[in-house]
Amino acid sequence: MAIRKRPAGIRRALYSRPMAQAIQIIGALIILGAFAANQLGELPTDSRLYLVANLIGSAVLCVLAVIEGQIGFVLLEGVWAIVSGWSLFVILGEEAGPPA
C-alpha cells in the first residue's frame, strides 16, 4: 500500500510558515494574557476564563508543534492543554453540584 504525497503546491496552500507563526503568536498571547492577569491579581488560576485561555492557547501551540515536528513542544503544550482541560472539567463539575 503506497502512501501518496500531496503535490507541493497543495502543501504550500494548506500550510504557510508566516501564517503558522502568526497563529503561534496569538496562542502564546492568549496564555500570556491569562498569566499576566493572574499576576496582577485580576484573574484567579481556578477561574473558568483562566483555564479556558490556557486550554485554547496551549492546544493551538500543540497542534502547530505537531505540524512542525517539534516533539519537546508537543510534550509541553500537550500536557499543558490536558492539565488545563482537566482542571476546567473539575471546576465545571463542582459548579454543577452533586447529582440530584
Residue 60 included in any domain: yes
Residue 48 included in any domain: yes
Sequence-ordered list of residues with C-beta below 8 angstroms from that of 92, at least 6 positions apart, any chain: 48
Domain around 59? 44-95
What is the total residue count of the chain?
A: 100
User: Cell numbers at residue 31, please?
Assistant: 496564555
Residue 78 included in any domain: yes
Look at the chain and report how many structural domains it folds into: 1
What pLDDT does 95 receive? 83
Residue 65 included in any domain: yes
Residue 57 included in any domain: yes
Higher pLDDT, 20 or 15: 20
**42 near 20, Cβ under 8 Å?**
no
Residue 6 included in any domain: no
At 56-98, the pLDDT tens digits run 999 999 999 999 999 999 999 999 999 999 999 999 998 887 7
What pLDDT does 16 receive? 86
At 20-58, the pLDDT tens digits run 999 999 999 999 999 999 999 999 999 999 999 999 999
